[in-house]
Chain A
Amino acid sequence: MATTAMAVSFKVELLSGAHCFMATQSGVSCAGTTGQFALTSLASTANLAVGMAVTGTGVAAGAVIASVDSSSQVTLSKAHTATVSSATFTGDVFKMLLIKASPTRTFDGTQTNVGTPGSGSPSATNVGTDETSGAGYTSGGVTLANVNPSNPSGATAITTFSANPSWTTASFSATAAVIYNSSGRLGGTTGRAVSVHDFGGTQTVASGTFTVVLPTADATNAILRIA
């Protein structure tokens, strides 16, 4: 069974700055000098946040944003290995996995982590063997593409993901989905649960396409909302 809910632990983590839903910005024009840490001449740093991963020619492997210094400059955690002229900035990587038909536990807002999907006893810290399985499904689920959080109306903030999650050449059954953060922003812990989404019954696909169409991205229906 599953009950649609935002994980309580996620709410605490969010207030602790432990999740970054910023959309990826690719090929951003900037300037960096070998051996230095700063990236200058950015057109805008409005949608950049500390901790976002940074990649690009001349950017050191594993570098993240250490500080946002101004509207045109950020400082990275590692010195550049060569001249930098453009960079890609990536928020946390969120994924959606599916819960099998007739799971042994009820997934709800008490879920804190997905643990080791597909392995081990299900608990609040482990989806374990309650994860679905079958042709076309890879344990751990699919990666979601971030969309910058927004305030579409009223006092509600939302975020959603672009390109609805889908599985092809698929044969499996599922009763719910769990969205989780696969990045280790807080204490290096990966797999932190974000939310559980009940499907309202068992959904079965046989040698076909299974798509979870995310709800309307507005203040009433968006997949993730904070009122």
Chain B
Amino acid sequence: MLPTIMITEGGPHSAEAWAGVTAQQIIQVGETASGIPGAQARKLELRVIEILEAAHAHVQEHEQAALSEHGADRYDHPLDSGVHIDDPLAEIVAASQGTAYEAHFAKAEVQAYIRQVLGEHFATSMKIERDWHADRAVAA
């Protein structure tokens, strides 16, 4: 599988861009998915993207606020992406309820996997905010 390359001109990746990439690693709808399960899968995928866009935006805003408060000291703080995971995870699980995929998203191992993906992507987003902050400080 090829790595996914994200490219954004002029600044960090948008929450919308992140949402699409993160969703791809959480839910994949086959091209031939059909009938009620197929429709539910596509609706669920869109709902997951909505949830993730809001979550990524929150992560970015939180990191920007922390950078405003702490300045360059923030670069040495741990990338504690874990604090941002519980709410979007709960929303994703809730979105799956009443669909053909409720049992899948209720599994502990599936939720652990989602935690890992969210943690990695949120941490990356936080680091990118810090790097841009540092870059702009040098340029100023």
**Chain A residues within an 8 Å CB radius of B7:** 203-205, 208-211
Question: A211 near B2 (CB under 8 angstroms)?
Answer: no
When chains A and B are docked, how far (Å) is the Cα of A95 from the Cα of B105?
34
Residue among A168, A203, A205 having the largest count of chain B Cβ atoms under 10 Å: A168
Evaluate contact between A208 and B9: CB separation under 8 angstroms. Answer: yes
Q: Is B127 an interface residue (CB 8 A)?
A: yes
The CA of A72 and the CA of B21, in the complex, are separated in Å by: 41
- Measured in the bound complex, the distance between the Cα atoms of B21 and A7 in whole Å is 28
Which of B35-43, B58-66, B91-99, B114-122 forms contacts with chain A?
B114-122
Provide the B5-22 mask, 1 if CB < 8 A to any CB of A, else 0: 111111111000000010
Residue A119 interfacial (CB < 8 Å) = no
**Is B135 engaged at the interface, CB distance under 8 Å to the other chain?**
yes
CB pair A164–B120 under 8 Å, yes or no, is: yes
Closest to A223 in B: B3
User: Contact: A163 with B4, CB < 8 Å?
Assistant: no
Q: How far is the CB of B14 from chain A (nearest CB, A)?
A: 10
**Residue A198 contacts which of B2, B117, B132, B135 (CB distance < 8 angstroms)?**
B2
Q: What's the Cα separation between A217 and B5 when bound, in Å? A: 16
User: Which residue of B3, B121, B123, B127 contacts A212 across the interface (Cβ within 8 Å)?
Assistant: B3
Query: Is there contact, CB below 8 Å, between A213 and B8?
Result: no
C-alpha gap A168/B11 in the complex (Å)? 8
Considering only residues 124-150 of chain A, those with a C-beta below 8 Å from chain B are 136
Q: Does A4 contact B (CB under 8 A)?
A: yes
- Listed residue (B5, B10, B117, B121) with the most chain A CB atoms within 10 angstroms of its CB: B5
Residues of chain A with a CB closer than 8 A to B8's CB: 205, 208-209
| Among candidates A163, A209, A218, residue contacting B79 with C-beta atoms closer than 8 Å | A163
- Interface of chain A, helix or strand or loop or mixed? strand
B124 within 8 A of A: yes
- B128 at interface (Cβ–Cβ under 8 A)? yes
CA gap between A109 and B55 in the complex, in Å: 39
Q: How far does the alpha carbon of A206 sit from the alpha carbon of B2 in the complex, in Å? A: 22
Q: Quick one: CB contact mask for A61-77 with B, threshold 8 Å, 1 for yes?
A: 00000000000000000
Query: Which residue from chain A places its CB closest to the CB of B122 in the assembled complex?
Result: A163
Residues of B in contact with A, size category: 20 to 34
CA distance in complex: A178, B123 (Å): 22
Measured in the bound complex, the distance between the Cα atoms of B79 and A162 in whole Å is 10
A-B contact pairs, 23 of them (CB 8 A): A163-B124, A166-B124, A166-B127, A166-B131, A168-B132, A169-B139, A198-B2, A199-B3, A200-B2, A203-B5, A204-B7, A206-B9, A208-B8, A208-B9, A208-B10, A210-B7, A211-B5, A211-B128, A212-B4, A213-B4, A215-B1, A216-B1, A216-B117
* Contact call A168/B3, Cβ cutoff below 8 A: no
Give a binary string over B97-140; 1 marks a CB under 8 Å from any A CB, 0 the rest: 00000000000000001001101110110011001100100010
Q: Contact check, B3 vs A209: say whether CB atoms are below 8 A apart.
A: no
Residue of A nearest to B22 (CB): A213
Do B6 and A209 have beta carbons less than 8 Å apart? yes
Decide if A163 touches B123 in the complex (CB within 8 Å).
yes
Is B2 in contact with A207, judged by CB distance below 8 angstroms? no
List the 3 closest pairs (A to B, CB-CB), nearest first: A208-B9, A213-B4, A168-B131
- B26 nearest CB neighbor, chain A only: A216
Q: Which of A179-227 contact B (CB under 8 A)?
A: 197-200, 203-218, 220-221, 223
B110 to chain A, nearest CB (A): 11
